[in-house]
Each structure stands twice: as C-alpha cells, then as structure tokens.
Structure 1
Amino acid sequence: MTKAASGARFASVWDALSDTPEEAATMKLRSALLMALGQEIKRWNLTQVAAAKRLGVTQPRLNKLLKGHINDFSLDSLVDLAGRAGLEIAVKVGRPKARPAAKAA
C-alpha cells in the first residue's frame, strides 16, 4: 500500500510522493526555486532564446525549466541558475512546527 493510499494526511504533495523526509525536503526546495525562476524569467519579457543566453543555458533547457520539468534539474543547478538570474536565496533551518494530532474517525 502506498503512503497516499493509506489515508495518511501530508503537509505537501512532496511528503506524499517522496520515500523519505529528506527527499521531500529537497523536492520542496527544488520546486520553490523552479517556480521563482519561472516567474523571474517571465518578468524579463524576453524570448526563450534571449533568456536562455542570459542564463547561460540552451533554449531547450530553459523550456524544460519553464514547463516545470523538476526531475531534469538538481538543487545545485537551480541554485546556480537563480544566481545567474539575480535572485537572492535565503535558507531557513530549524525544527519543524508540531502539527496537531489528527482527529480519530
């Protein structure tokens, strides 16, 4: 039985889809970077060719980013692209907030 099929509740889709909490955390970071990059690139109002050149990637690679192909990008590559895009990255590290216990059915 999968985690999702078990009826468990998850804080995010990545918690449901990932095998470990560590993998879920990485996917959350990658997702946030992918979305921020997409928004920033659209704000530039450039063609994909021009935006790709500005970022130092090929147009097909940029197209994958804009289409949300998260599995084609490592966390490191997204951090590099964010830097090239002029985005500031802030990392928050701490203990997770305790979630209230689920109500019994």
Structure 2
Amino acid sequence: MSMKTFDNIWDAISDTPEEAENMKVRAQLMNSINNWIARHKLSQADAAKALGVSQPRISELVNGKISFFSVDKLITMMAHAGMHIVNIEISETAAA
C-alpha cells in the first residue's frame, strides 16, 4: 500500500484546494494575532478587550482552533487592535 504525500499540512487536512488556501490564510492571521498578544504581554482577558471579543474566543485563538474563526472575523479583531495587513503575496501554479 502506498502512502499519499502532500505539499503541506493544509492540503492533507482539507477536502479542496480552496479550503486549504482559506485555512492557510486563517492560520497566518491567527499567528499574527498571537504574536501581537505575546509582544504586548497581554492576559487573555486584556487581549479580548483590545480585540473586541470575549476571553473564551481568545482561548480558542491561542489554542489554534482554526475552524472557529473566519478570515473576516480575524481581520476585524486585528482592526480593533490597530493592526494592519501590510503585504499579501500571491503566486500562480502552472497550468495543468
């Protein structure tokens, strides 16, 4: 029996390439927010106030519950704290 290989973890755990890309973006946004919380040495309660959400939502965020967050919600949280997306890189795959 051969084992299927994937280019990245997102391809392995998602059903479609579109879902994999969405998960990748959400993971990057969540990582940025987590880094912001750590840099500011915020408790979950203080982070929740700054990001405009409840403390349990911050717990879900820091515990990597990616399915609990949409791209829109993560961007809204970032905006509450004055964070901005500076750069988005897009590459195209070769046509099949």
TM-score, scaled to structure 1: 0.78
Instruction: Name which one, 1 or 2, has greater alpha-carbon Rg.
Output: 1
Amino acid at match of 1:79: I
- Provide the aligned length of Structure 1 versus Structure 2: 94
1:82-93 → structure 2 map (5 Å cutoff): 82-89=78-85, 90-93=87-90
Q: Which runs of 4+ in 1 moved over 4 A?
A: none
- Unaligned runs of at least 5 residues, structure 2: none
Aligned equivalent of 1:94: 91
Amino acid at match of 2:90: V
Query: Is the Cα–Cα contact under 8 Å of residues 33 and 79 in structure 1 kept in the other structure?
Result: yes
Amino acid at match of 2:82: G
For 2:33 and 2:94, locate their aligned partners in 1 and report how far apart those are by CA, in whole Å: 28
1:39-50 → structure 2 map (5 Å cutoff): 39-50=35-46
Amino acid at match of 1:91: I
For 1:6 and 1:64, locate their aligned partners in 2 and report how far apart those are by CA, in whole Å: 36
For 2:94 and 2:33, locate their aligned partners in 1 and report how far apart those are by CA, in whole Å: 28
For 1:20 and 1:59, locate their aligned partners in 2 and report how far apart those are by CA, in whole Å: 32
What is the Cα deviation at residue 58 of structure 1? Answer: 0.8
For 1:81 and 1:40, locate their aligned partners in 2 and report how far apart those are by CA, in whole Å: 11
Aligned equivalent of 2:27: 31
Q: Percent identity?
A: 43
1:1-105 → structure 2 map (5 Å cutoff): 7-89=3-85, 90-96=87-93
Query: Is the Cα–Cα contact under 8 Å of residues 37 and 85 in structure 1 kept in the other structure?
Result: no
